[in-house]
Chain A
Amino acid sequence: MIQYLISVGTLAAITAILVLGVNVRWGLAGELDLGYYLFPAVGAYVYGVITLPSAKTQPGVSYVLGLHQPFIVGVLGAAAAGALLSLCIGAVALRRLRANYFAIVTVATTIIGYTFISQYTPLFNGYNGLYGITQPFADNLNLTLQGYSDFFFGLCVAALIAIYTVLELIRRSPFGRAVKAVRENEVAALAFGRSVYKLRLKAYVIGGVVGAIGGSLLVNYVQAFSPTAWSPLETFLLYGALLVGGTANNLGATVGAVVVLIAFPQLALLLPDFGKNADALPAIENMTVGLLIILTLYFRSGGLVPELKTMNGQLRTGGHWNRRASKTPPDLEARDVAAAA
């Protein structure tokens, strides 16, 4: 049972990282990226080809690189690939396209990426994908299977905490506030001198990097990655998790990931057996998860943890702010403000 919970917890931590990436793009910046799963997938593939040995050592397999590098190099490579891909797509799609058109472009880009990766075998071994990915630090640690599962769970939780902390610092910073301002009213942000394009592109890249890091952990967990492991549709589950948890709020994103992608499917497992059709139960499980998402959104439209009011890095109540405000010198001039800025 403990082993099972460790396994589920590991998946929950990885999924939470993926949803945090969606949250930066959609929750914070309002970029409806319907092709988000491309970034975890690219992160997974790039991690794979950096850590795997050369394809020449394995007959019938072909992929680029094969550098046989350690875990950390693989993760950094995946993050860099996520950033580069985000820059390429974002630089085009975010400059001129707005809202719906941007969403359509992201879907189209992911379909192109999915088809290319599936069909062009020399890149990531085509539809068969990458397999035989070694577990990080397994050789150095000499742990039992159980012990290694515990270690990898700890590694994923540590990665989640690190990414959560970084994203929380960003969300509470003036940069996060400016990105939210762009999301809330782009023209007003322009009118007050914000470069909307640059702010949106930065948020897009951050989301891509987080997604790619999540993907690199995911490929460690499943130890293989092929187009069957991901499709453009996976993105919608991540959005479902974010909406249920609460958008523009890292706590909500994490809670949503655990609830929708881990707890709901576990609840669906409690359903009784339906007939002798082997496909019936998975289908009913999927429908149950969908229904639970709809019910949660119906009864709690802001999500389980709605967007929090933050100010200058701290959650604020009226009293708290007023007490601080009364201590600030009232005679500051506009030029002081300009100097500070």
Chain B
Amino acid sequence: MLQRLPEHNDERPARVDPTASSALPERQTETAALVVNDLWRSFGGVVAVQGCSFDVRPNSITGLVGPNGAGKSTVINLVSGLIKPDKGRIYLDGEEIQGHAMDWVSRAGLIRTFQVAREWPKLTVLENVLAAAPAGHRETVWRALFGRRATRREEALLEGRASELLARLNLTHVVNELAGRLSGGQKRLLEFARVAMVAPKVVLLDEPLAGVNPVLGDELGRAIQGLRDDGATVVVVEHNMGFVERICDTVVVMATGRVIGEGSMSQLRTNQDVVEAYLGRTAAHE
């Protein structure tokens, strides 16, 4: 029997009293920045995510790894609101967010990136960063016509922040280029600038190293650590295990739609389920 999920709406949900939640006896709803509890999602006859549960500590970098088809990207899509779960609960800073649309989840403080960089190609690099900042009251027709002075003031402040972020990511020289003309790596860096502009509570990065050379990979690693240093909690889906070991505080391993291990990389190396999931049962026992 599927659990009925909240309807999409623009209202923020009431803060959940963790002590009243009987569904999460083992999850750290009070202290965790992000809690995923018993998440299910199927596509037709394929159950992509089946009972997936994990916590993410505040101000940490958590790796979400697993072989292809493990359900990592589906979990990211579910948590970010791109698709709705069939069942399960997701808490962001103690607030239930499952079932809400992606824009609502984003405004609640959870920002995600995609496997392929999704820049706004006909906006300049600076515009991309400014357009990512929280909309507030700036983006109204009324303000466009009658509040130009206030808008200019706020935009100047945002431009200062944007130029600082772009300088940190070595993008100052392309600040006026159309984002569509950037290289693949620069688009990745631009994505980090956009995310940092929001100052989110939680960031979900879906394969940030996809198609990126090793040198730029190091730069992206520093950018991810920069997000954490700015106060964000980061979840990274990544196949590059060296990268995951280098930057992640904790790693969550998924296989066949569920979590099969959590801990540091050294702990996970000794976890037989994890080894089998990656190498196959036969190879793992050889």
Chain A interface (Cβ within 8 Å of chain B)? 166, 169-170, 173-178, 180-181, 184-185, 187-196, 199, 202, 206, 248, 307, 309, 311-313, 316-318, 321-322, 324-325, 328-338, 340-341
Contact = CB atoms under 8 A, between A and B. Distances in A.
8 contacts: A191-B103, A192-B194, A193-B134, A309-B178, A312-B155, A325-B159, A328-B163, A337-B158
Interface stretch (B39-47, B117-125, B264-272, B278-286): B117-125
B141 A321 contact: no
Interface string B157-194: 11111011001000010011010000000000000001
Contacts of B118: 185, 187-188, 191
B206 to A, nearest CB: 11
Contacts of A307: 122
A329 B103 contact: no
Given A169-B148, A341-B154, A321 B140 contact: no
A174 B151 contact: yes
Contact of A337 (B123, B133, B139): B133
The 8 A-B pairs with the shortest beta carbon distances in the complex, nearest first, are A173-B144, A334-B199, A341-B136, A328-B160, A193-B106, A184-B120, A341-B134, A188-B118
Contact of A340 (B123, B154, B230): B154
Contact of A341 (B120, B133, B163): B133
A176 B138 contact: no
Interface of B: 10, 80, 82, 101-103, 106-107, 111-114, 118-124, 126-127, 130-136, 138-141, 143-145, 148, 151-161, 163-164, 167, 172, 175-176, 178, 194, 196-199, 230-231
Most buried by A among B131, B140, B157, B194: B131
Contacts of B145: 166, 169-170
A85 B238 CA distance: 48
B122 A184 contact: yes
Given A190-B106, A192-B132, A196-B103, A175 B140 contact: yes
Contact of A178 (B124, B139, B161): B139
B161 A188 contact: no
Given A181-B131, A191-B112, A334-B196, A174 B178 contact: no
A173 B101 CA distance: 26
A306 to B, nearest CB: 10
Contacts of A169: 144-145, 148
Given A180-B120, A336-B157, A173 B151 contact: yes
A324 B156 CA distance: 10
Contacts of A177: 123, 127, 130-131, 139
A48 to B, nearest CB: 28
Contacts of A330: 160, 163-164, 167
Contacts of A187: 82, 102, 114, 118
Contacts of A190: 82, 101-103, 106
A98 B81 CA distance: 19
B120 A312 contact: no
Contacts of B143: 173-175
Contacts of B10: 195
B199 A335 contact: yes
Nearest to A334: B199
Given A191-B113, A341-B138, 16 more contacts: A174-B131, A175-B141, A177-B131, A181-B131, A188-B114, A188-B118, A194-B103, A194-B139, A312-B159, A321-B126, A325-B163, A325-B175, A333-B161, A337-B133, A341-B136, A341-B154
A90 to B, nearest CB: 15
Contacts of A317: 176
- Output the residue of A194, A202, A322, A331 with the most chain B CB within 10 A: A194
